[in-house]
Structure 1
Amino acid sequence: MSKSKTFIVEHLDPELEEWSSLEYAAIASESQSAGVSFFLSSVPPALKLPENLAGVQGLQIEHRGVEEIYHDKKASVCLLDPAAKEELSPEDGDRFDVFLFGGILGDDPPRDRTSELRKKGFEGRRLGPVQMTTDTAVRVTRMIVQGRKPVPLDKIPFVDNPEFKVDDHESTEMPFRYVTDGKGNPVMPAGMLDLIKKDSERGFGDLL
């Protein structure tokens, strides 16, 4: 498992919302630190990246779709698919070189966006039964398949549906599963809490 992996998020929206840009920036930063490659594929040529993504280290932009890129190497690609029957395991780090994610994984309720990639014939694995944000899914996958000491899925510390205080009187619940840090707090992209608080009055659905 010493070979560096490639992580690809197939961008499935015509636009790139602030919510997604924070997640992608977090993935890029962590990928850079981990020494792995991170591609954002199917990016429309006319799409202007927000400031926090323009030129960010660790992010590679690809206008082609993953099906075109890996048309002759599909067996090397693992699709992280909530509908897959088999859980991702450390052994999959030996079997696959590329790990593919369909953005946006963090829909609430889930809209099965990954079905668009499932139809293309990539072999699938899942990350448990609870919905994750895109950056969490990439983080968990990297923990399982990359590095000197891969961590099995059932050994990763998670928190489900964490609540965050918006002000002195209100809180909001995030309907996703997150990896926790050493203090039991959910690991989230920089700036995400501020975005949650800013948009809480409009309702969580407006974030997506």
Structure 2
Amino acid sequence: MAGKTYIVEHLDEELGPWSELEYITIARESQETGSKFFLSSLHPQFKVPDALAAIPSFTAERRGVEELYADKKSRVCLLDPQGKSDLAPEDADNFDVFLFGGILGDDPPRDRTSELRAKGFEGRRLGPVQMTTDTAVRVTRLVVEGKTPLKDIPYVDFPELKFNEYESTEMPFRYVKTEDGKPIMPEGMVELIKKDADKGIDDML
């Protein structure tokens, strides 16, 4: 089966370091599985990082999804916590494009999919627990391309990351987990989280 297309409507003018690592991961995994990854509705001043631009599966797009798929709207699935049903393997027959509106990965969650929902894209849920953007795309791919039901995907919720004997932090998200129970996270993410945590401690001193 041909790979699907995964689109994140990037709603910010800039790209933060967390999102950059997530997007690079999505692009790499899309490349490995024969899928495509788009960032759409990009601001004119948005600069695509070189590491992301170098991945063949990735496309930077100034246009929004509504314009890109004006004549194929029914083939676009919006991953939406307020969707009427959960994403299922059979949705692979119904949709070619899976759309993420920026809500996933926010803590506390913000309803940033509301504009896309109002445009009439059909919605599906990924479960009750917030996911990072790369996790949401990974789970969607496992369901529609890997034919794995949501309930059968191995998850770890709110994992604790231990940096050393004294430092740790709990992540407020759901992740897909490896066979040894560790959360699948973008390369370099743990180091970035530790750096941010150290920065926060320094600010309090």
TM category (shorter chain) comes to over 0.9
Match of 1:186 in 2: 183
Query: Does structure 2 retain, via aligned residues, the 8 Å contact 1:158–1:177?
Result: yes
AA at the equivalent of 1:68: E
Match of 2:4 in 1: 5
Query: Does structure 2 retain, via aligned residues, the 8 Å contact 1:8–1:41?
Result: yes
Match of 1:107 in 2: 106
Task: Confirm or deny that 1:83 pairs with 2:101.
Answer: no
AA at the equivalent of 1:167: N
1:202: how far off?
A: 4.5
SS in 2 for 1:38: strand
SS in 1 for 2:52: coil
Match of 2:61 in 1: 62
Match of 2:203 in 1: none
Query: Does structure 2 retain, via aligned residues, the 8 Å contact 1:21–1:52?
Result: no
Query: Does structure 2 retain, via aligned residues, the 8 Å contact 1:43–1:61?
Result: yes
Alpha-carbon separation, structure 2, partners of 1:96 and 1:51:
31
Q: Among all aligned residue pairs of Structure 1 and Structure 2, give the percentage whose two residues are the same amino acid.
A: 66
Provide closer, same or farther for how the CA distance between residues 166 and 104 of structure 1 changes in structure 2, counting only shifts above 3 A.
farther
> Taking structure 1 as the reference length, what is the TM-score of the superposition?
0.92
AA at the equivalent of 1:16: L
- Higher RCO (CA-CA < 8 Å; seq separation 6+): 1
AA at the equivalent of 1:158: Y
Task: Confirm or deny that 1:160 pairs with 2:157.
Answer: yes
Match of 1:124 in 2: 123
Alpha-carbon separation, structure 2, partners of 1:124 and 1:33:
26
Deviation beyond 3 Å, 4+ runs, structure 1: none
Matched residue count: 200
1:104: how far off?
A: 4.8
AA at the equivalent of 1:86: S
Provide closer, same or farther for how the CA distance between residues 104 and 129 of structure 1 changes in structure 2, counting only shifts above 3 A.
closer
Query: Does structure 1 retain, via aligned residues, the 8 Å contact 2:13–2:45?
Result: no
Alpha-carbon separation, structure 2, partners of 1:36 and 1:54:
16
AA at the equivalent of 1:74: K
Q: Which moved more, 1:108-117 or 1:47-56?
A: 47-56
What's the CA shift string for 1:157-177, capped at 9, x where partnerless?
Answer: 000000001332021010000
Alpha-carbon separation, structure 2, partners of 1:73 and 1:95:
12
Q: Which moved more, 1:42-51 or 1:99-108?
A: 42-51
> Taking structure 2 as the reference length, what is the TM-score of the superposition?
0.93
Give 5+ residue unaligned stretches, structure 1: 204-208
Give 5+ residue unaligned stretches, structure 2: 201-205
Query: Does structure 2 retain, via aligned residues, the 8 Å contact 1:12–1:104?
Result: no
